[in-house]
Homo-oligomer: A and B are copies of this chain.
Amino acid sequence: MIFLPIALYLEYFRPDAHTLIFFASCIAIIPLAGLMGRATEQIANRAGEGIGGLLNATFGNAAELIIAIVALRAGQIEIVKASLTGSIIGNVLLVLGASFLAGGLRYTIQEFNTITARAQAQMLLVSAIAVAIPGLFHAIRPVDANANEGTISLIIAALLIALYILSLIFALRTHKHLFAGAHDAASQAHADEQWSLRRALIILGVATVLIAWLSEILVGSVEEAATAIGMSKVFVGVIIVAVIGNAAEHSTAVIAAIRNRMDLSIGIALGSSTQIALFVAPLLVFLSYAIGKTPMNLSFTLGETFAILIGALITAHVTSDGHSNWFTGALLLALYSILAVGFFHVPG
């Protein structure tokens, strides 16, 4: 929390210290995103199962969304897409990998509900492919034929949002028994805490405003910081911004794994990735027409496309048999590192 005043101080009194500003605002966002998540949970717990699940699902990635909206308004489309990619692969490789590893160091084999995990992995796989298709079709299209890309992305965004609504009906209504374990575990995750509704709403509001403020600072310093430390903007988006935006999910999922609540752990990692692909990404496409400098499409770079597909594919495989162990976690983390190395060396 100490980094919040540091970031603000640097921004307004040391405006040339871009790299310091960038990292201070990055670190300052992490606890705020965590607070925001807990406030949402508190409100959701009060709202009853259906609406509560909806709130949790819809605002689960609120911190990422705020950062992305700020970047969108600043015309930093490349960073937005990179951070979407990073959120997807970060959740399924870094968060799930760390959960499997941390849990696996305590338990030889950890078990989880295959039917739920498979349903989530299917959702993730299809949404990853859906998000990847514009990029693939962009890559194979002749250079002079890009005129329609905006239209394609709008149609696909509409389809993804429709699928997101259907996924909520599926998970919260028609097949909620499949997700019962994860829901129960989620509502118990911080069951010791009880905030008043008023307190939860105030914390939510304050955290939102602060995250938005810090995001402005972060996005404003990203270009100079990237140049100063020799990283491409894609790397900053895919790895750094994404890690910050998902730090809260990350710690909750790892703690759940250490407590052998693998259904919750997997639910967070896969649910969060799926939500980025089905809800946050298409929402940003629509918002880009309203508030962005330039409209955003869904044509990710080939590197991002491969990373998304590989992440979803591996996840589908490692969650299909209902068992995890520390080595599977190490495999996922190694894959994440290798992708990070690849993105680090992609020119900006």
Interface residues, chain A, CB within 8 Å of chain B? 108, 114-115, 118-119, 121-123, 125-126, 129-130, 133-134, 136-137, 140-142, 145, 148-149, 151-152, 155-156, 159-160, 162-163, 166-167, 170, 174-175, 301-303, 306, 310, 313-314, 316-318, 320-321, 323, 325-328, 330-332, 334-335, 337-339, 341-342, 345-347
- Contacting pair A137 B345 (CB below 8 A): yes
Residues on the B chain within 8 Å of A119, using CB: 325, 327-328
- Contacting pair B327 A166 (CB below 8 A): yes
18 CB < 8 A contacts A-B: A119-B328, A123-B327, A125-B314, A125-B317, A129-B310, A133-B339, A136-B302, A140-B302, A145-B347, A152-B345, A159-B334, A160-B334, A163-B331, A163-B334, A174-B327, A175-B325, A175-B327, A316-B317
- Contacting pair A133 B163 (CB below 8 A): no
- Contacting pair A345 B306 (CB below 8 A): no
Residues on the B chain within 8 Å of A334, using CB: 126, 130, 159-160, 162-163
Residues on the B chain within 8 Å of A162, using CB: 334
Q: Whole-angstrom distance between the alpha carbons of A119 and B341 in the complex?
A: 25
Residues on the B chain within 8 Å of A118, using CB: 321
User: Closest residue of chain B to A134, judged by CB?
Assistant: B342
How many copies, total? 3
Q: Give the 8 A-B residue pairs with the shortest CB-CB distance, closest first.
A: A170-B327, A140-B302, A126-B331, A137-B342, A145-B347, A148-B345, A163-B334, A155-B341
**Known: A159-B337, A338-B159. Is A331-B122 also a contact (CB below 8 A)?**
yes
Q: Whole-angstrom distance between the alpha carbons of A118 and B334 in the complex?
A: 18
CB of A107, distance to nearest CB on chain B (Å): 11
Residues on the B chain within 8 Å of A314, using CB: 125-126, 129
